[in-house]
Amino acid sequence: DEDPRVTRIKRSIRVVPDFPKPGIMFQDITTLLLDPQAFKDTVDMFVERYKDKNISVVAARAGEDRNPTLEFPITESLAGIEARGFIFGPPIALATGAKFVPLRKPKKLPGEVISEEYILEYGRDCLQMHVGAVKAGERALVVDDLIATGGTLCAAMNLLERVGAHVVECACVIELPDLKGRERLNGKPLYVLVESH
Ligand code: PRP
């Protein structure tokens, strides 16, 4: 007895084999965004879950130019399109009355930042957050489109916890459970709408 909204969301995600490299089954959420009902259902499901949880911070990652040399060349315009972490966070923040905090690549944020490095399958990456954006004791939700190995969510949580925030939960549209990313979250709850094997 699956929620019909989940059925629609699942059907709206296009899976592209061997993109951006052989062996990867790419979960393409651009087709979800083309279906206004599926997009609305996605946001609504998160909002329903978090609206009465006293969350004052929604944090998400902008994903421009990760590993550009190892994957595919990313142009300026593609960068905007591919910042998938920023698509779902802001509508959830607006609907729950929380502030939205962007977590970004190095050298993108103009103010004082704290940084968290993390390990990727090949190489390293880094996320930064503005100092002062989140205060100690604030209740935060971390949002991303997808959890694979969990490295990204783990780094995002570390940033928030280092400034004394309480991460209530992580929320993703899609989980790839075979990669066991959940196990990297140190017991922090993770809520996902769709699992993909
Ligand atoms: C994807 C996705 C998550 C991350 C999850 O982003 O949007 O942010 O990978 O992977 P992990 O659980 O193994 O850390 P990607 O690196 O493809 O960047 P993008 O958002 O720039 O496309």
Point out the residues of the chain with pLDDT beneath 70.
63-82
Q: Please name the fold of domain 54-195.
A: Rossmann fold (3.40.50)
Q: Is the peptide bond before 20 cis (omega within 30 degrees of 0)?
A: yes
> pLDDT digit string (tens) for 155-195?
999 999 999 999 999 999 999 999 999 999 999 999 999 99
Which amino acids bring their CB within 6 angstroms of ligand 1?
Answer: 61, 63-64, 66, 82, 84-85, 144-152, 181
Distance 146 CA to ligand 1 centre (A): 7
**Hey, where are the domains in the chain?**
54-195
Count Cβ neighbours within 10 Å for each residue of 166-182 and write b for 16 or more, e otherwise. ebbbbbbbbbbeeeebb
Dist. CA 1 → ligand 1 center (Å): 30
Selection from 54, 74, 52, 55 nearest residue 63 by Cα: 74
Query: Considering only CA atoms, which residue is closest to atom 2 of ligand 1?
Result: 146
Closest ligand 1 atom to residue 79 Cα is 21
